[in-house]
Every structure is written in C-alpha cells, then in structure tokens.
Structure 1
Amino acid sequence: MTLGCATAAEPSDVDPFQMGRWQIITEGPVGSGDGLYLLDFYRDGRVTIELQNSDRNVIDEKHWRLEGDQLHILSKKSDQIHEFETGIATFIDADTMNIVVEGKPVNITKNNALASWTHLILFFIGSILVYELSRKSKVVMITLFAVAPIVLLPYWMGVGIDAWFKWAKLYSPIVHGWFFILMATTQMFRKKWVRFTIAALFIINILEAVGQDFSIGHLPNILNGFAGIFCVLAVTRWAGIDPDDSPERDVLWPGMTLIFILVYDVWNITFVYNSFPDLTSIQIAVLSAATLPAIFIKKGTWMQARIFTLSIFMMYGFSFKTFVEVHTVPTYRTDGSLLAVSAFSFAVNLLYLLYYWRWKYLHKSPKYIEVGQNPVAY
C-alpha cells in the first residue's frame, strides 16, 4: 500500500482478486483497546476504510491498485486514516495479506460474513454445551480450570497477545473457577471466607474493566466506568453463596437478582463495544451463554455460568487467536452510538443502584422488582 497523492486505478489495472470486505485487527498500547479496520474493495478501484478503536471512529474513501503480489492503497493528505506505515501489503495467500500498521506487522484477512455468523452461532451453542458438561462432570471441570491453563500456558505465551488486560481476563476467571471447584467438591463451602472470595473476585473482575475504561478517558468510557462502579456497589447477599444438594453440586448465589444480571450484561457489553470492537458480537454470545441457562435451565447459577463461559471464551480465544479474529462479526459503531450506549448503561445501572439503596437503607422495596430484598431472588 503506497501512501501519497492518489490517482484512481484504471479498469485495466484492477485485478479481480477477492473483492468485498477485508479486515485488520490491531492490539492497542497498554491501557487502550483493540483497533478494527474494515476495508471494502470495489472493482472501480475504490476502497472504503472504516477504523474503529477506542480513540476514533472514522471512514475514508481511498483508491487501490495491484502490482504483482503487492496491493497499494493511495491516500490523500486530507484523509483521516494514515496508519498504513510501510505502504505495501503483500499477499500471503488468496485470503491473507501482510502489512505494517501502527508500527507492527499485521494480517489483512478476508471477511466472510456467512462463515463469521456461523462461527458465532456455533460458539454460542458450544459454550452452553461445554458449560453443561462441566456442571455434570467434575473431571471435565477440573480439566478445564486446573489442567488446561497449565498445559497450554507455553503455547499461549507465543500467540502474540501482549495486553495485560487480556491476560488478566484469562486468568482471573480461571482462579475464580478454582473456588467453585472447592465449594462443589470439598467441605470448604462451610467457610465464610470462601464465599467472600467468590464475591470479591467477581468485583475485581468488574474493577479491571473499570480501570481500563478510566485509563482510556473518553466520555463514553468514563460513563461506563461509573456504570461499573454502580454495579459493584449493588452486589449483595454474597453470604448466601452455597452448593446445592443436586448431583451436580451447583454453586448457587440465590440473592443475585435477574435485574442485576441484566444491568451487568448491559455494562459488560458496553465496555467491550467501547474498547474492543472486534469482540463485541462474540461477547454478546458469551454473556447470553451464561444468562439464558441461568434463567431457563437452573435459576441461581448465573455466577457459576458466567465464570465458566468466560473462561471457555478466553481459553478458546488464546488457543485459536487467528481463527477467532478472522471470523469477526463487526457491529455498527459511531461516536454517537458509543455515547448513546454508554449513557444507557450509566442510566440503568444507576437506577438499579438507587432502587437497591432505597431498599437497603430506607427499607422501601419496589413491589414488582427484586433488588435484594429477599434471600432467594427467584
């Protein structure tokens, strides 16, 4: 890709390589999120490039041409996107090119919408199946949380993921899962500190994301950062965490309300939407894979399901990084949509917190909404 004065490609210059949408995913510096570039190539020599990251949402129309196994994009000085530093993209195969973007070599990959949506749906179904299997088999549970994270660590260290936040998100739910194993397989559920640790790790998981939001510092991130704090302040009845008497020994949090789960989901989706545009769609699938079973399969198990499905996703993403990136399902994203979604997250989490405080401190509970007033919220 050559950056400089633009001249449109003549029809004879346009080789019929795979037109349509290609994409680039970049990992931002410490304290920021990912960048997603969506490149739509047209046969008349135009290419529309959309950049989505935590700093900017911009669209440029440029021109392109092929020279042998290299693809050149021609930019104008007035363009907003100038991150293609080397100016040359080299074909690796029919679906992959390589270029230096933001100082790092990255791949440009063909985006197949049908394959990406199929992957998303199958991942959602697979997450629920693996979670249900781990519920019913302690061997699978121990393999997932104790064996796999140790055996796969050398491989994960070589896949090119440097962001501290992603590593924290990988291992914090794994450690969290150890306590679920202890509660389900030993007498440690009798210890109050084990219950407290499960609640504390959940709160730490939220605060990791809040710290990321505040470190980015844009208004949508700040609004959603406060939404995360509201979410933390509304955590209640952790002393009721206990394994049940079923054969699965599910760890229940009976006092966790459905409305809390839903506003938490809103906050979490908004966080990913703001900072990791390449992961928004699959994060919705991850959250749904925890929320739906906790509503329709077994009530009270949401925290257990959330930790299991998050661990499944993070280990899957580290183990098959390129495959997951290639099958990104992009979402609509503008500065206005970021602000609107973040304002909604702020509002619903604040509203829930106010209802919760109204019950806790004024002893006035809403008639039709559970906010923690009952030891069992379902």
Structure 2
Amino acid sequence: MLFQVYGDHAAMQWLGWVMVFVALIALNEFSRRSKAGGLIMFVAVPAVMTVYCVTVVTAALMGVDWGVKNPTVVFANGWFHYAKVYAALAGCVGFMAIKYRWGKIGKARWFRAFPFVIVAINILIAVASDFESAVHFFTGDYTMLNGSPVWTTSEHITVVTGWHNVFNGVAGLINILCMTGWWAVYSSKKQEDMIWADMTWVFIVSYDLWNFCYTYNNLPNHSWYCGFALLLAPTVANALWNKGGWIQNRANTLAIWCMFAQVFPQFQTTMPELGVDSPFAVNSTMSSTANLWVSIAALVANILAIAYIAYRAKKLGVNPYTQEVFTGTRDFEKANARVDEADRTAVLAA
C-alpha cells in the first residue's frame, strides 16, 4: 500500500479525498465556462491570496506572534510552493488569452507556444525539487527512519531521499519532450476551452505517472490530495466531457488547489507537536522501496511515450514539435473536432 489510509481516521481520509476531487471538478467547470468565472478564480482570488501571504510573512519577519505561528508561514512558506502557485496562475491567464483571443497576444501565432513553455517551466520546478532532494542523499545529509534515508524540509516535511529522486527527475525532463505540436493550440467553438488536440492520452498518462511520483517523493504528506485527487480531476474531465482541454483543466485545478493549500495547509497536515492534527491528513508509507518502484514506473512510462512519439513522427515524416503527430488517432480526432476553425485559419494565416 502506498498510503496510510487505514485505522481510526480512514473514513475521514476518504471523505477528504472525495471532497477535494468533487470541489476541483466543480471549480474547474465554474472557471472554464465563462470569462467572469475565470477572472474571479485566477485574478481576483489570487489577488486576495497575495495580500494575505504578504501580510502574514511580513508579520513573521517582524517577529509578530500571530505571523510566526500562522499555518502558511509554518507549513507553506518555501520557494517551491510560491513558484508553483504563481506559475500555475500564469498558465491559467495565458490560456484564457488564447481561448478568448484577447488582444494581439491572444491572436498571435507565436504565443500559441506559450502552453508548452509554461508547462515546461512547471515541470522544471518539480524536477529541480526532486534533484534538490537527491543532493541530500548523495552528500550524506540525511537521517534514517524505519530503514529509509530521510531529510526534513524548511516546511517540516520529512522526505525520503535516494536514487528514486534521480530517476523521476530524468522522467520529468523526458516528459517535457513528450509534448508535441507546440503551436497547434486553438480556441474551442464555444470559447469555453483551449484545445491542444495533439496532447493525447500518451502525454497525459506519462505526465500523470511522473507528477504523481514527484508528489509521492517530495510531498509525502500531501500526495494523497495533490498527487491522487488533483491529477485525477483533469484527467477524468478530459476523458468524459472535455476532450482536448486537459492542459487547461490541469492548470485550473492545479492553481485552485495550490491557492487553497497555501492559505489552509492545516487541512492536510498532522503535526501535533506544532499544534496541527487534521483528521483528513494522509501520509505515504515512507518506504524507500515504494518510492523506488513508483519512480521506475514513471521513468519507464516516459521512455515508452517518447519512443512512441519518435515512431509516429518517423512514420508520418513530421517534426513532432512543429507539427502534429497524433492525427488520425481517436483522441486527436475527437479533440480536433471541437476546434474553432475560424481561429485555426486566422492563426495559420498569421
């Protein structure tokens, strides 16, 4: 078993998972279906969050007691959390510019590569975190916990370190190259979605495995939510009713979750010694063997994905990054049928 979801709190832990999953699905639908919904979720709410974070961090730096003890300062004040939330928000706003064709930038062909760039940046942030953890293993800067080498982050998270961090970091780098058809990104017919038809199940599965592994490796006390529930929400939406909109679903749900976790980290935290003991908190098994096998699975999946992409590119005689490689496949055709042809024509003519 990968997680400690058994015992007295099991019912609450599963209830917490269901609540997070359903809330992410619902808020993604709210934010994608109208400009007002998107602007509320990805402009207004982040503005309030930023004011809050600046206030509590400033108070903490001044030594004010309520600032020093604030949950955001204690559990979510590291570089990774801030980088992730604002990178995700940048993606959400950029994707809105494309799907609503806002101004010159929303109509420009060169900007259609923005989704690739922002996703690559998000992946590189996580890869850097994996490699940061690996450094502790190779420099001997760790202690042992139940037979596994661990270190503790500035946010009081105990992390298992080892070769698994290297394997998954490499998987993340390969995953960046699994994004194809960088400029073939268009608005949907109803302008509800940004469609990237060439981002099919091949990338989605390899990304989900890599990112789940990243959270399992580096956020073992959060992975039940940010690895399992958060990754499943956009994948289910893409599979059932929003074909071709996976990357928009992913950015939306990621930003929503990161903002919630930034302001209310105590929801998923159990550290009685620091005054927090949430019944919804779930930890991984903290086993280096489990981390290793999950990382190997992620690495193998990404190697297979990039090999399949290379095979299709050669078969079709196309450059997989400047052209689409999944034309003719069921996933691609279903997504492509949702594209606004007027937008495609205008972009290709630009």
Compute the TM-score of the two structures, normalised by the length of structure 1.
Answer: 0.66
Partner of 1:266: 209
1:203 to 84, 96, 120: 120
Partner of 1:140: 37
Structure ranking higher in strand proportion: 1
CA deviation after TM superposition for structure 1 residue 353, in Å = 0.6
Q: Distance in 1 between matches of 2:16 and 2:203?
A: 29
1:125 paired to 2:22: yes
Q: Distance in 1 between matches of 2:106 and 2:187?
A: 7
1:242 to 173, 176, 186: 186
Partner of 2:285: 332
Partner of 1:213: 130
Q: Distance in 2 between matches of 1:348 and 1:364?
A: 24
Q: Distance in 2 between matches of 1:332 and 1:318?
A: 24
CA deviation after TM superposition for structure 1 residue 360, in Å = 2.2
Q: Which has the higher contact order (CA 8 A, sep 6+)?
A: 2
**Residues 363, 137 of structure 1: CA spacing in aligned structure 2 closer, same or farther, 3 A cutoff?**
closer
SS at match of 1:277: coil
Deviations 1:197-255 (A, max 9, x none): 12100111011111111122221000001111111111111211111111x43111011
- Equivalent pair of 2:185/2:197 in contact (CA under 8 Å): yes
Seq. identity, %: 27
How many residues in Structure 1 have an aligned counterpart in Structure 2?
A: 265
Alignment of 1:50-129 (within 5 A): 112-129=9-26
1:287 paired to 2:231: yes
1:277 to 208, 213, 220: 220
Q: Distance in 1 between matches of 2:308 and 2:34?
A: 39
Partner of 2:143: none
Q: Distance in 2 between matches of 1:302 and 1:373?
A: 15
Alignment of 1:159-238 (within 5 A): 159-160=72-73, 161-185=76-100, 186-187=102-103, 188-217=105-134, 218-238=162-182
Q: Distance in 1 between matches of 2:52 and 2:17?
A: 24
Amino acid at match of 1:192: R
- Which of structures 1 and 2 has the bigger CA Rg? 1
Partner of 2:195: 252
Partner of 2:50: 153
Partner of 2:340: none
1:345 to 294, 298, 310: 298
Q: Distance in 2 between matches of 1:373 and 1:170?
A: 31
CA deviation after TM superposition for structure 1 residue 322, in Å = 1.3
- Equivalent pair of 1:286/1:310 in contact (CA under 8 Å): yes
- Equivalent pair of 2:110/2:183 in contact (CA under 8 Å): no
Compute the TM-score of the two structures, normalised by the length of structure 2.
Answer: 0.71
Q: Distance in 2 between matches of 1:140 and 1:174?
A: 14
CA deviation after TM superposition for structure 1 residue 363, in Å = 4.4
Partner of 1:356: 309
Q: Distance in 2 between matches of 1:112 and 1:264?
A: 31
CA deviation after TM superposition for structure 1 residue 372, in Å = 2.8
Q: Gaps (5+ residues) in structure 2?
A: 57-71, 135-161, 270-277, 319-323, 335-350
SS at match of 1:344: helix
- Equivalent pair of 1:173/1:308 in contact (CA under 8 Å): yes
Deviations 1:105-133 (A, max 9, x none): xxxxxx83322221210110011011111
Structure ranking higher in helix proportion: 2
Deviations 1:164-191 (A, max 9, x none): 0111111101011111221233254321
Partner of 2:338: none
CA deviation after TM superposition for structure 1 residue 377, in Å = 5.3
